[in-house]
Amino acid sequence: MSKPVVAITRPKDRAKKACEIVEKLGGEAFLAPTLDLKPVNSDSLKELVKRKDELDWIVFTSPTTIDSFNKFYPDFLGSLTCKLAVIGNKTGKLAEENGLKVDLIPEDFTAEGLIEEFKKRNITNQVIGIPRTLSARPVLPEELEKMGNTVLLAEAYKSLFPMDEDSIKELILKIENKQIDAITFTSPLTVENFFEITDDKEKIAKLLSENLLTVCIGPITAKVLKKYNVTYIHPDTYTVPDMMELLFEKWREIHG
C-alpha cells in the first residue's frame, strides 16, 4: 500500500502532534495552516483578570486560552478559586499540567455538549468567565445567559487569516495535481479560510469530494464543508487522534 500524503490545515503551533500521528500511522504530512492564532492582552481580558474573584466558573475552550494567560498573566491560573470547565481532552490535559483541577468536561467536545452538562447540573445564577477568540460561535455565552447566568466574555486570542498564503496555494496546486491523498480540518475557520484563498471553489470542492479523503474533527466543522458541497467523514469522538485513526482506517479500506 502506498504512503498517503495527508494535508494538515490547523494552526502551525498546534499542528506538531497531528503531523506526528500521521507519520506514526504510516503517512506523510503536508502542513498548510489555514488559520493562525495570536494571544492578545485585550481590555476584556484585563477586565476578566481584575474580576477573577467574582467568578463561580471559568470555561477554557482551547489550549490557546491557557497559553494566553501564561503569556500575559503568569500568576492568574494559580490564583483561581472558581470551578473550571473545559472543552476537549487536550485543553483539560494542559489545564492539569498547569496545576488546575478540571471540574467539568463534556463527553461531546462542543459548546453544545458543555451547555448540556451545565443544564444537567442546573447551573444558574452563576458568574461564568469565558476567555476565547471573539470569532467563536456565540452559542455558548448566549445559552448560559438564557439559563440565568452572568457571562464575562473576554478576548484571549485572535483567530487570524493565514499569514502564509503561499503554503495554501501550494496545497491547492498539489490537490489539482493529485499529489494529496487526504485533507483534515479541525475547525470551521480552517475550512472557511481555505476556500477564501481558493479561486475555483466548485472545482476544489469536487476534487475534495471525489479525489481526496476529506476528514474533519466533528459536526460543527462538517456543517461548513457541507455548505461548500464537500463530501466528508468525521469521528464519533471529536479529537485529532480519533480523526487520524478514522482517516487511516478508511484509507486502508479503500486502498487495501
Residue 146 is placed in which grid cell? Answer: 438564557
Cell of 21: 500521528
> What is the residue-level pLDDT of the chain in tens, covering all 256 positions?
579 999 999 998 889 889 999 999 999 999 999 999 999 999 999 999 999 999 999 999 999 999 999 999 999 999 999 999 999 898 999 999 999 999 999 998 899 999 999 999 999 999 999 999 998 889 999 999 999 999 999 999 999 988 888 999 999 999 999 999 999 999 999 999 999 999 999 999 999 999 999 999 999 999 999 999 999 999 999 999 999 999 999 999 988 7
Which candidate, 88, 75, 194, places its Cα nearest to that of 132? 88
CB 60 within 8 A of CB 131: yes
Are both 79 and 134 inside the same structural domain?
yes
> Do 122 and 83 fall within a single domain?
yes
CA 90 – CA 121 distance, rounded (Å): 23
The conformation of residue 54, written as its DSSP 8-state character, comes to G
Both 141 and 223 in one domain: the answer is: no
The amino acid that residue 2 corresponds to is S
> Which residues does 222 contact at the CB level (< 8 Å), separation at least 6?
216, 232, 234
Among candidate residues 31, 45, 36, the one with its CA nearest the CA of residue 73: 45
* Tally of structural domains, the chain: 2
52 and 148 both lie in a single domain: yes
Domain end among 119, 139, 159: 159
Q: Is 135 helix (H, G, I), strand (E, B) or coil?
A: coil
> How far, CA to CA in Å, does 90 sit from each of 75, 143, 230?
21, 24, 28
Rounded Cα gap, residues 35 and 224, in angstroms: 15
Same domain, 50 and 25: no
Name the burial class of residue 255, with classes exposed (0-12), middle (13-18) and buried (19+) by CB atoms within 10 angstroms of its CB: exposed
CA atoms within 13 A on the CB side of 191: 26
The CA radius of gyration of the chain, in Å to the nearest whole number, is 19
Q: Are residues 145 and 180 in the same domain?
A: no
Pull the grid cell for residue 27: 503517512
pLDDT of residue 253: 93
- Domain boundary pick from 159, 192, 218: 159
Q: Domain range for residue 229?
A: 5-35+161-255
Determine which helix (DSSP H) or strand (DSSP E) holds 244, and give its type and residue range: helix 240-255
142, 189: one domain: no
Assess whether 52 and 153 both reside in one domain: yes
* Model pTM score: 0.87
Q: How far apart are CA 248 and CA 197, in angstroms?
A: 27
